[in-house]
Amino acid sequence: MRAFYSGQFVLPLPPGHRFPMSRYAMLRDRLQEQLPAVEMDPAPRATDDELALAHTPEWIAAVSEGRVSPQAIREIGFPWSEAMVERSRRSTGATIAACRAAFTGGVAANMAGGTHHAYADKGSGFCVFNDAAVAARLMQVEQARAGRLLRVAMIDLDVHQGNGTARIFQGDPSVFTLSVHGQKNFPFRKEASDLDVELPDGCGDTDYLAALEHALDELDRRFSPGLVIYLAGADPFERDRLGRLKLSFDGLEARDRRVFDWTWQRRIPTAFAMAGGYASDIAETVQVQLGTFRVALDYWRRWQNAAR
């Protein structure tokens, strides 16, 4: 199973910054040690033309040239640097590459990504460019060249609503945005997804999985995708600093299995990204992410067996 990474995912940050940047290198090391069947490939760099499928030229230029206002930088939460620009481009390129790989292999991964708070014309919440939105639009362009209309479903299970993604695709019938998130969590001004499932603080495994089941049933009734982009956030975890939900390791594994089973039963190629994860012990976030990869690898093998 192919997964796309970049050394640029690890961005130098000021001392005491709350974003757990070291988790990317930790995940890569754990995958190499425990899941050697995951083939890690370098992430390509998203071009201006690719980014422009979901972002305004003004925002792309401002980010690339270091002309982002102090207010906009505060909203993103990362200081501007050339390294930030490179990280953001390669994080987007990794989801693009994962989508292409999913069309041939069934399942593929971005070892970062899930930057769903980025709007067309601004960044927010540690998100500069919206990797899933850019990738979805680019896959639609590439499929259209072959005479095919591609419908894309975003299954966003990060604990925070995918507000940027929802806004970018509002009114677009070819993309379905599903977000299952904490009702009282960031962002405090929500956007309207095609389907929003808002959960109370303290929601645990049983109630979460029931809500997810209902959401997937609703998605099935309303939309038939040819590609799924799954944001497998680790932040619904019970010890996440920013999550406020109470999912256990087992609950998160069951969540992942339900999503991959849903796409497998319908033979929908699936690209997934890591999205958020902020446990006080970063190793616990990485353990959740490793569990997502284990489940994904199981379903990737099913795709390979079915192709023989």
* Candidate list 117, 160, 181, 214, residue with the active-site label: 117
Rounded to whole angstroms, the Cα distance separating 38 from 85 reads: 27
10 Å Cβ neighbour count for 159? 26
Confirm if 271 and 229 have CB atoms less than 8 A apart. Answer: yes
Six-digit token string for 225: 């995708």
Helices 82-105 and 57-65 cross at an angle (nearest 10°) of 130
Q: How far apart are CA 67 and CA 294, in angstroms?
A: 41
Nearest one of 160, 164, 170 to 124, comparing CA atoms: 164
- Pull the structure tokens for residue 149: 């209309």
Nearest to 3 by CA among 236, 307, 300: 300
Residue 132: which residues within 8 A CB-CB, separation 6 or more? 95, 113, 114, 115, 116, 154, 162, 165, 229, 231, 273
Whether 181 is a known active-site residue: answer no
Catalytic sites, residue numbers: 117
